[in-house]
Amino acid sequence: MITRTAIFEGKIKDGCEERFFSEIQVRLAPLWKQFPNASNVRLLRIEEADQDAAPIVMIQQIDYPSMDAVKAALESPIRTQARAVTLEILEMFEGRFYHLMSDGNFVATEPGA
């Protein structure tokens, strides 16, 4: 499994907090669910962080079965559509967003633990 994670680092412009997250839920989340091969979509709104943490306001993750599936999603028309909506919503955001790709889940529970 490959997880593509988007990190939104910065701050939401004053007075735009609720509208920002509402637009994400109403306009972007449905598009993210339509990405080809997307098996799980997660939206994490940061409620609290360590004092010295980077100013992350939101994390979005989509799971895919393989890197080829990620590439197909990134080349799809729905991604172009989602990107346009993202750029509109980012008018309410000061900072940057970037993506990370991760493979698998390496935390295993030991038998009897």
Quote the mean pLDDT of the chain: 92
Looking at residue 92, the DSSP 8-state letter turns out to be G
Check residue 106 and give its pLDDT: 66
CA distance 57 to 10: 7
Tens digit of pLDDT for each residue in 10-23? 999 999 999 999 99
Check residue 113 and give its pLDDT: 55
- What is the pTM (predicted TM-score) of this model? 0.86
Coil, helix or strand for 33?
Answer: helix
In total, the chain counts a number of residues equal to 113
Average pLDDT over residues 90-108: 87
CATH class in words for 2-102: alpha beta
Tens digit of pLDDT for each residue in 26-67? 999 999 999 999 999 999 999 999 999 999 999 999 999 999
H or E segment to which residue 13 belongs? none
Residue 76 predicted with pLDDT over 60: yes
